[in-house]
Structure 1
Amino acid sequence: MGLAPAVGPVPPDLRPVSTRRAGRDAELDPSIVAAVLALARPALELAVLEDWEHEDDEIADGGRYAGSYGGLPRLPPGVDWPAVGGEPLTLLAQLRCDALAGLLGAEWTLPRDGLLLFFAAVWRDEPDAGRVLHVPDAAPVQQAPEHAEVVPAQPLGAWPVRSVPELDDPALRTLLHATGPALIDVLRALAPEHTPHQVLGRLGDGYHPQRPGTRPLLQLEGEEGTAWGELVRLAFVVPDDDLRQGRLDRVRMTYEVA
């Protein structure tokens, strides 16, 4: 890969997608910028909406109301609250498919209406420790079964971002050796400063167990009402082919620990 020595400000079409990121017009090597962007993937940042009351309220910076962190799920009649080994899973998020599809366009290969419900038994590695259900918007709210943990509901907004590899990603190893600090400057300019929760995009190398051949469907940090100890973040991942085909029955969990 030829790396031109010329430097300059980031062209407007190469700046971070999210308008929530204040201008970072550093002097960057355009060839390194192009190399990093070739590895980037569209994604959505999710963040709790403060002082927000109704789903029709306007969301700042072009965002959309995307659902909630925690709460009680909408489950159709006949659909049981998911469990593993007799233990009810915890509902961590419920996301509106129309909002995700509207922001991601063709990149969103899952249903474009209804809700996605993300259940998990945190810290467990059984195949069913993470479960994602697609349900209709109009399904009734189901009360939690005995012994189920209920996380307080908090509204989430969604904004488009560009998910670039982290510095320790194997895809950047050759570029890092060739360019050193210049690559770090590019990653700082193109990556969000902090994305508490994310839909799609890339998964950092700090997650374990590693699950080759999968993509992150949703990454979450702990919010109010969760007590995860040293667990920094968890991710619901799906096989690449399943994501392309819209399958949700082989979702697995992976964790980032401090």
Structure 2
Amino acid sequence: MHSHQTYRDAARAKGVPEHAIDLALSLALPQAELSPDHADTGVPVGRYGGLPALPEGVEWDSGLDLVATVDCAALPADACDLALPRDGHLLFFASRTDPDGFALLDDSRSVIHVPAGTPTTERPVPDDEEHFPALESRPLYARTFPCLPDTADDAVLPHPEVRRLFDEYRLQDHDQRLPQWDDTLHLGGYAYSPQDPPIMGSSPEDEKGGWALLAQAQLDMPDDPGFTACVFWIIQRDELAAGNFAAAGLVSISYH
């Protein structure tokens, strides 16, 4: 949504009662939308695509392509709901090959944090059949929007009364903002997914604090024209607090 007030106005116009609107807005989370198209109104925070700059000894995982590099120090403090590092760079990698149901949840190296001041070298695309040419490099600018869960999200599913109100008043449908996707990375917030969100069955009581959504993107699939990969980077909350990004997981689904 563009703001709490725009959501409230749209929901009121559809006859949604105030208590249901208040419930929806109580679940809203800030989400940073990093896009080349926000150059006029956003904060410069990194780069989409291009080649990764990595420290010596850190390998570029086979089959994963660089999606974005984020300058943590440039992110506004309230850009999203995550306790991200305050310096260095976060590099996000994903697969663009047949990602339907694709999941890497054990040291996938899909997210790499390079601390500030670490010497790095830009790596060329590996000379193998598992990598495509690098995504076109474009600068990223951050803007923050509040976002809502949908009825299949963990914030809604475990709570019968919350789920009833979401279903009865279709609370997620009154968010009139369409997320940007071309050459864009979303940090934090809730998952936008053509199917059920990828983080299911987790809660704050789970071991290591349950799963949090780090980021999401949508990518074209060169081997399957007309299909799009929805990519989600997730991490358990205790691992995020410890800065252990090697524990981040990568979940992908595809749609036509």
Name the TM-score class by shorter chain. Answer: 0.7 to 0.9
Q: Deviations over 1:45-83 (max 9, x none)?
A: 122338xxxxxxxx333x21221221111122x133322
Q: Determine whether 1:167 maps to 2:162.
A: no
Q: Deviations over 1:163-212 (max 9, x none)?
A: 2111333616534535755x32x433446322423101123562458573
Q: Could you tell me how far apart the structure 2 residues matched to 1:209 and 1:177 are?
A: 20
Q: Determine whether 1:145 maps to 2:155.
A: no
2:164 to 173, 177, 189: 177
Change (3 A) 1:160 1:233: same
CA contact (8 A) 2:107 2:246 kept: no
Aligned counterpart, 1:15: 5
Q: Could you say what secondary structure the match of 1:222 adopts?
A: strand
Q: Over the residues paired in the alignment, what is the CA RMSD in angstroms?
A: 3.2
Q: Deviations over 1:125-167 (max 9, x none)?
A: 3434452111247734232332243222122221111121113
Change (3 A) 1:192 1:64: same
Which has the higher Rg, Structure 1 or Structure 2?
1
Change (3 A) 1:257 1:145: closer
Alignment of 1:203-218 (within 5 A): 203-204=191-192, 206-208=196-198, 210=200, 212=202, 213-218=210-215
Per chain length, whose mean CA-contact separation is higher, i.e. which structure has more relative contact order (CA < 8 Å, sep 6+)? 2
Aligned counterpart, 2:177: 192
Alignment of 1:37-76 (within 5 A): 37-49=25-37, 59-61=39-41, 63-76=42-55
Q: Could you say what secondary structure the match of 1:177 adopts?
A: helix
Q: Could you say what secondary structure the match of 1:238 adopts?
A: strand
Q: Could you tell me how far apart the structure 1 residues matched to 2:177 and 2:109 are?
A: 27
Q: Determine whether 1:222 maps to 2:213.
A: no
CA contact (8 A) 1:209 1:254 kept: no
CA contact (8 A) 2:45 2:70 kept: yes
Q: Determine whether 1:117 maps to 2:105.
A: no
Identity %: 22
- Alignment TM-score, normalising by the size of structure 1: 0.72
2:23 to 21, 35, 43: 35
Aligned counterpart, 2:206: none
Q: Could you list the runs of 5+ residues in structure 2 that have no partner in the other structure?
A: 203-209
Change (3 A) 1:129 1:161: same
Residue identity in the other structure for 2:173: R
Q: Could you list the runs of 5+ residues in structure 1 that have no partner in the other structure?
A: 1-11, 51-58
Number of paired residues? 224
